[in-house]
Amino acid sequence: MRPDSSRPDSEAHLRADRVGVESARRIVLKVGTSTLTGGKAVVDPRRITALAEDVAAVVRQRREVIVVSSGAIVTGAGLLGQRRPVRGLSHKQALAAVGQPLLMQRYAAAFESLGLRVGQVLLTQRDFANRRQYVNARRTLEALLGMGIVPIVNENDTVSIEEIQIGDNDTLSALVANLVGADLLVILSDVEGLMTDDPRRHRDARLIPEVTRIDASVLRAARQSRTAQGVGGMATKITAARIATEAGVTTIVTGGERPQPLVRLLEGERHGTVFVPEPRPRSGRRRWLALGIPARGTVVIDDGAREALRRGGSLLAAGVVDVQGTFEPGEAILIRDTGGAEVARGVSSYPSAQVVRIMGIRSTEIARVLGVRAPKEVVHRDNLILAGNEGDRAVKRTR
């Protein structure tokens, strides 16, 4: 049964023009391992060539494309002649270290033959969790685009535990789309899009052409609509679509097997599932805070501070009763009340060690305690969003 928040093909056909697909100027294209290998054990150089030709054709239209690419681990395994399933985190990270340079060489050769250069950008979760690093990563990507270079982005597999999981480059692509303010995110998959059921088991499974709201019915469809990587494969794509659309980025999940999928989408061809963006997305720091990046730590506040935040105030040291975890200035932190409920998340003005020293004291006493002039707010109201029913999405987890 079609989820409530999807539309029939005819309506989606009409609506697609209104969600900015054909007019997109800055595009993030996510390419998974299955698209690069065709289901085999090694990356197929012909597929990289085809991908480069698709992207180059779009760049010639005076559009910008950032490629988020998986494939480092399988490339490393192929180079070393390993065909068995990879076991163990350190083994996977070692294969990624071997495979990433070769994968980039193949991308560089394919794009160079088309008159384009590529630049490697390896990101970690910390690049998104720390506001300063987040801004620096954005400037780096924009500088590459400004020079006419196609950025090839991957998570830094050799140092990032979170990368070694099925489908998390889907989430990375959504974070990158948010980071650079993309108009369009296209996620290439080994299925045609979000289906009503698993097409490998049910011949009557139908494509859901458009999703206007990611609700429980869409999540159920994602669990039923498998990719070759397993049930989680489509679920992570839905998570990515949620992140991107909440930031105002139109998102399309579509099959990577058809020739020039990106060019054809931008020319108006309707394929895959379109996820319609929020009409009034957040901007700036609030958009960054709402990404759901794991917070670096937690501060616990009293009832008075909780009410002050709900009224639109800043978090002052006087209202802090406990500090958990370690964080630095500019990093996202979780704010909880004494009952453990999530109140907000925000950007800390202080390192955790200093918050411990000043918690419970008046703002006028901070300089005396620390011996230096310092901000009077632990978290300024401009760097804070409320959680859940208080006005913004609750923070999912801490780190």
Q: Which amino acid is at 206?
A: R
What sign results for the dihedral spanned by CA atoms 326, 330, 332, 337? positive
State yes or no: 169 annotated in a binding site.
yes
E strands, the chain, are 26-31, 64-69, 118-123, 150-155, 184-189, 210-211, 250-255, 273-275, 297-301, 315-316, 320-325, 332-337, 342-347, 377-379, 384-386
Query: What DSSP string runs through 225-261?
Result: S-BTTBHHHHHHHHHHHHHHHHTT-EEEEEESSSSSH
Binding site annotation covers 9? no
Residue located via tokens 């990356």: 43
CA–CA distance, 283 with 55 (Å, rounded to integer): 28
Q: Cα–Cα distances in Å, from 2 out to 197, 206, 209, 254, 261?
A: 10, 8, 10, 18, 25
Query: Are residues 211 and 241 in contact, defined by beta-carbon separation less than 8 angstroms?
Result: yes
Give dist(CA 216, CA 227) in Å, integer.
19
What span, in angstroms and rounded, lies between the C-alpha atoms of 255 and 188? 5
> How many angstroms separate the CA atoms of 110 and 130, rounded?
34
Could you tell me if residue 299 is left (phi over 0), alpha (psi between -120 and 50 degrees) or otherwise beta?
beta
Is 30 marked within a binding site?
yes
Within 8 A by CB and 6+ apart from 230, the residues are 166
> Is 189 part of any known ligand binding site?
yes
**CA proximity to 126, closest of 101, 163, 152:** 163
Q: Classify burial at 198, counting beta carbons within 10 Å of its beta carbon; exposed 0-12, middle 13-18, buried 19 or more.
A: middle
What one-letter code names the amino acid at 269?
E
Q: Do 118 and 189 meet the contact criterion of CB atoms below 8 Å apart?
A: no
Does 157 appear as a known binding residue?
yes
Residues facing 379 on adjacent strands: 315
Is 190 among the annotated ligand-binding positions?
A: yes
Annotated binding site: 30, 70, 157, 169, 189-190
Annotated binding site for ATP: 30, 189-190
- Feature table: binding site for substrate: 70, 157, 169
